[in-house]
């Protein structure tokens, strides 16, 4: 078991709240907690029990706070070390004073993600499960949370380990073929068999990667730019989708000077909404900068929602935006249906089919259901919607899987060329190692340090 000094950190978000938790992990966790706890002798209590008492200052023995202290002895704990969690009143001062008391008696302040890192190093979880914890913390929808929970329970790890086991059995046969070519009774591994195994593993990896894009959308949200001329209802749409007055809405053109970003959950689909400055010709310096940023956001968006004012005829700016977003994933909306119409869906036939145009009224909140249906259908219909989303692939996973596929492609090419088995084995072993980096079965210390540094303090 990985052993080091005893660490401590605040595990709940700083700020006002009902409860704050300070966590310790290590061989001396119970001893350090007992030195500042007035109540039962924590060194004598059974594991997985909770006890009422007070936390005392080690300097003057004055009461810092009331507390409930949980004792969980290893290996039946998250880190497989002794863990103590001190539940005190929420608030910045209370939890900080408790933490300071523990640091004074000998605990060390934990680094970001160090509790999870210890769980990994002690064999409690693998690397993909550790990353699932971070995804679980940052989940923005119920679907993303469910996928993170499945990955935490080992859904991705099981798939990867099954693949590696198949490859290991093949590698073992290769070694026998290489080391004992003259040994009677050993069935040599033919190039056809090695080629077939490379094809099977490569195909299974590609099936895993089908979820990569969907996982990215669930993790980061669909980057959605709301664009249009000034005063067509962009900020009103943002406010309706978020259910809050996030953006200032007035009849004055140019009210929105900068981009406004907000996450929203639309039928389980996370949207990263970006309300852009109204695009028009302007000499006002600040507004001009906002228009430039709006154009950049349009180029980088996964989805563009283009609002047009149906109470007015098409303008040159409208036409420019329709041209600019041609070929992008977009939804075109005719807004302000509560006003007399001067713009028809047929007027947009040059750019899209009339049945692709949505009509809304931000004043009456009409058409928002249809908008949400369209967003869901665009990104999670058909193959994506029926995919078994049991895990979220991050960039590291995707890169490793892509490299493994390339290595297996080299194996297949070498087999077709009839190269010696011992040469082909090199690329096959490389693919096996790359898959091991996903679960942490083969990983470098520098990578671990980088990964766990992205965790919040106390996790």
Tell which of 364, 382, 400 closes a domain.
382
Q: Do 141 and 239 belong to one domain? A: no
Q: Is residue 283 part of a domain?
A: yes
Residue 190 · residue 267 · CB < 8 Å: no
Q: Do 287 and 201 belong to one domain? A: no
Whole domain around residue 159: which residue ranges? 132-211+392-440
Q: Do 65 and 158 belong to one domain? A: no
Q: Do 106 and 138 belong to one domain? A: no
State the CATH number of the domain containing residue 356: 3.40.50.300
Residues of the chain with confidence (pLDDT) below 50: 1, 184-187, 246-258, 279-287, 382-387
Task: Count how many domains the chain has.
Answer: 3
Q: Do 227 and 276 belong to one domain? A: yes
Q: Do 250 and 299 belong to one domain? A: yes
Q: Is residue 448 part of a domain?
A: no
Q: Do 121 and 257 belong to one domain? A: no
Specify the pLDDT at position 376. Answer: 75
Q: Is residue 2 part of a domain?
A: no
Q: Do 266 and 319 belong to one domain? A: yes
Specify the pLDDT at position 179. Answer: 62
CA 429/CA 65 separation, integer angstroms: 57
Specify the pLDDT at position 452. Answer: 61
Q: Is residue 287 part of a domain?
A: yes
Instruction: Tell me if the pTM is above 0.75.
Output: no
Residue 65 · residue 91 · CB < 8 Å: no
Sequence-distant (≥ 6) Cβ neighbours of residue 369 within 8 angstroms:
none
Q: Do 205 and 350 belong to one domain? A: no
Specify the pLDDT at position 438. Answer: 86
Q: Is residue 428 part of a domain?
A: yes
Sequence-distant (≥ 6) Cβ neighbours of residue 452 within 8 angstroms:
111, 112, 113, 114, 116, 117, 130
CA 225/CA 248 separation, integer angstroms: 17
**Both structure tokens of 272:** 């990263």
Q: Is residue 169 part of a domain?
A: yes
Q: Is residue 450 part of a domain?
A: no
Name which of 151, 152, 78, 73 is nearest 118 in CA terms.
78
Q: Do 172 and 241 belong to one domain? A: no
Residue 138 · residue 454 · CB < 8 Å: no
Specify the pLDDT at position 28. Answer: 96
Please name the residue ranges forming H helices in 3-49.
29-36
Tell which of 125, 143, 167 closes a domain.
125
State the CATH number of the domain containing residue 192: 1.20.120.430
Q: Is residue 159 part of a domain?
A: yes
Q: Do 376 and 436 belong to one domain? A: no
* Cβ count within 10 A of residue 38: 12
State the CATH number of the domain containing residue 62: 3.30.1360.120
Tell which of 62, 97, 125 closes a domain.
125
Q: Is 277 helix (H, G, I), strand (E, B) or coil?
A: coil
Q: Do 333 and 242 belong to one domain? A: yes
């Amino acid at each position: 078991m990985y052993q080091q000094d005893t660490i401590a950190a605040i595990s709940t978000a700083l700020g006002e709240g009902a409860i704050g938790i300070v966590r310790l992990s290590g061989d001396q966790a119970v001893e350090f907690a007992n030195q500042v706890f007035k109540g039962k002798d924590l060194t004598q209590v059974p594991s997985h029990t909770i006890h009422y008492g007070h936390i005392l200052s080690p300097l003057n023995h004055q009461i810092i706070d009331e507390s409930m202290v949980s004792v969980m002895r290893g290996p039946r704990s998250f880190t497989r070390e002794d863990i103590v969690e001190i539940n005190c009143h929420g608030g910045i001062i209370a939890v900080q004073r408790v933490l300071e008391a523990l640091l004074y008696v000998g605990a060390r302040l934990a680094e970001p993600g160090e509790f999870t890192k210890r769980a990994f190093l002690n064999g409690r979880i693998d690397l993909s499960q550790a990353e699932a914890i971070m995804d679980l913390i940052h989940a923005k929808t119920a679907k993303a949370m469910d996928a993170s929970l499945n990955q935490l329970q080992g859904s991705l790890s099981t798939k990867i380990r099954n693949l590696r086991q198949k490859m290991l059995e093949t590698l073992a046969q290769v070694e026998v073929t290489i080391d004992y070519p003259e040994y009677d009774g050993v069935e040599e591994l033919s190039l056809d068999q090695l080629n077939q195994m490379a094809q099977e593993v490569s195909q299974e990896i590609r099936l895993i990667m089908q979820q990569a894009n969907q996982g990215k959308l669930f993790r980061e949200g669909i980057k959605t730019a709301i664009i249009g001329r000034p005063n067509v209802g962009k900020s009103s749409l943002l406010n309706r989708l978020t259910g809050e007055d996030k953006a200032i809405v007035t009849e004055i053109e140019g009210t929105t000077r900068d981009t406004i970003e907000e996450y929203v959950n639309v039928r389980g689909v996370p949207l990263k909404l970006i309300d852009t400055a109204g695009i028009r010709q302007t000499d006002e310096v600040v507004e001009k900068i906002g228009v430039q940023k709006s154009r950049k956001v349009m180029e980088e968006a996964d989805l563009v929602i283009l609002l047009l004012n149906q109470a007015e005829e098409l303008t040159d700016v409208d036409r420019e935006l329709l041209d600019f977003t041609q070929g992008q994933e977009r939804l075109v909306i005719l807004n302000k249906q509560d006003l007399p119409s001067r713009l028809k869906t047929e007027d947009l036939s040059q750019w899209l089919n009339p049945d692709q145009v949505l009509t809304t009224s931000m004043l009456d909140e009409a058409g928002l259901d249809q908008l949400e249906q369209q967003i869901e259908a665009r990104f999670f219909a058909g193959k994506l919607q029926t995919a078994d989303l049991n895990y979220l692939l991050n960039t590291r996973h995707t890169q490793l899987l892509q490299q493994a596929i390339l290595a297996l492609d080299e194996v297949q090419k070498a087999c077709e060329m009839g190269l010696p088995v011992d040469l082909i084995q090199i690329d096959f072993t490389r693919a096996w190692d790359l898959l091991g980096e996903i679960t942490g079965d083969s990983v470098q210390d520098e990578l671990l340090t980088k990964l766990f540094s992205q965790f919040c303090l106390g996790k």
